[in-house]
Amino acid sequence: MAYADIAAFFPILLKGAVVTVQITLGALLLSTFLGLLLALMKRSPFAPISALASTFINVIRGLPIIVQLFYIYFVIPELGIDLSAFQASIIGLGIAYSAYQAENFRAGIEAIDSGQIEAAKSIGMKSALIMRRVVLPQAVRIALPPYGNTAVMILKDSSLASTITVAEMTRAGQLIAASTFQNTTVYTMVALMYLALSLPLIFGVNRLERFFSKSRQGANQ
């Protein structure tokens, strides 16, 4: 491993890392939005709406993410909608992870004691207000650790965007390795850079989990 190689590769990989972070944040945002929508739809008293959400979630969970990416990148343009590979990767990952986010949010929402919801009703609150003022603020706290785990998974799976030509970090590594044959140096660097992004997230999640389990114990004393 020559330092000269490392110095030469680093800026290229760093550019890829920026794209990786962009995809991760974009997909995280989209999956949060869609996941919340799906979780709320699933709780709808109107059966067709909850059935639609359940079907969507099951289909998404039953498909490999890479197939979803191919589908969005290669099939959607045939319908006349132009998507760059970058956009397709965000949409693909965002939709794929919305199913898991819906599950995170659903668990958070259902953890709220029904007595609180009745108390809210008894002071005249309507269901949308109960959601906003009573359920969601607490559900968000409960859903935060699994949410962080999902963020880590999206970060890692953003590497799948390399398969649809997005020049994120993994693909940048592939390109360098293919032209220099410095496989060990390149992929070690790529691995370390993923860890540099993911480990802080993982530690953050662990801290959150410890914090919440402690404060919940405190609540029962």
Q: How far is the CB of 132 from another protein (least distance, A)?
A: 9
* Of the candidates 172, 163, 161, 164, the residue with the CA atom closest to the CA atom of residue 16: 172
Number of residues that bind another protein (CB under 8 A): 21
> Which one of the spans 98-106, 134-142, 173-181, 186-194 is the region binding another protein (CB under 8 A)?
134-142
Q: How far is the CB of 214 from another protein (least distance, A)?
A: 13
Residue among 121, 207, 210, 214 that touches another protein (CB under 8 A): 121
In contact, 142 and 108? CB cutoff 8 Å: yes
Secondary structure (H, E, C), 153-166? HHHHHHHHHHHHCC
CA torsion sign, 125 to 129 to 131 to 137? negative
Return contacts of 179-188, CB within 8 angstroms, 24+ apart.
180/5, 180/9, 182/5, 182/9, 184/1, 185/1, 185/2, 185/5, 185/6, 185/9, 186/9, 186/13, 188/1
User: Does residue 217 interact with another protein by CB under 8 A?
Assistant: no
Q: Is 80 helix (H, G, I), strand (E, B) or coil?
A: coil
Residue among 77, 118, 178, 199 that touches another protein (CB under 8 A): 118
User: Does residue 61 interact with another protein by CB under 8 A?
Assistant: no
Looking from the CA of 174 toward its CB, the CA atoms found within 13 Å total 12
Q: By CB under 8 A, what part of segment 136-195 binds another protein?
A: 137-138, 141
> Which one of the spans 25-33, 91-99, 109-117, 159-167 is the region binding another protein (CB under 8 A)?
109-117
User: Does residue 120 interact with another protein by CB under 8 A?
Assistant: yes
Which secondary structure element, helix H or strand E, spans residue 86, and what is its range?
helix 85-110
Q: Which is nearer to another protein, 79 or 219 (CB)?
A: 219
> Which one of the spans 48-56, 62-70, 161-169, 212-220 is the region binding another protein (CB under 8 A)?
212-220
User: Does residue 129 interact with another protein by CB under 8 A?
Assistant: yes
User: Does residue 116 interact with another protein by CB under 8 A?
Assistant: yes
